[in-house]
Structure 1
Amino acid sequence: MGDKYEVIGKLGEGGFGIVNKAKDKETGGFVAVKKQLEYNSEQGIPPRILREIGLLNLLSNPITLFVSMASNI
């Protein structure tokens, strides 16, 4: 997944996309990388994805994920 992450394997999939386990090449840490289902990137990121990112960033709990970046890969 670009120059930043090395995909290790698939963790799961659902109605919005696929989640892969990946290794951050810079830090060596493991991350979950969610690849959304295809959308028209010319129209920008769909509102449902922006809502999900916003909600995840509101959570503050050691067992919940946080969004460290969002981009078109």
Structure 2
Amino acid sequence: MAIKLNLDRVMFERKFSLTELAERIGITLANLSILKNNKARAIRFSTLDALCRTLNCQPGDIIEWVPGEPETDDDHE
């Protein structure tokens, strides 16, 4: 998929652990890990809002479109 999540980078820059961020935004560690490891297929606006509010960033700091990324069969399921 051509959409990439840079949550791991933003968390590192803001010095947030997975556990601390999960607690602050009210999401399970498993679901936050999926986002952090760029394995998510979707993200709710409410989750994106909570991430941006807590990390003091813009959605574009977390979500990036990467041109030329090849699509996989998983992108069409």
The answer to whether TM tops 0.5 is no
- TM-score normalised to structure 1 length: 0.28
Q: Taking CA–CA contacts closer than 8 Å with sequence separation of 6 or more, which of the two structures ends up with the larger relative contact order? A: 2
* Greater fraction helix: 2
- TM-score normalised to structure 2 length: 0.27
* Greater fraction strand: 1
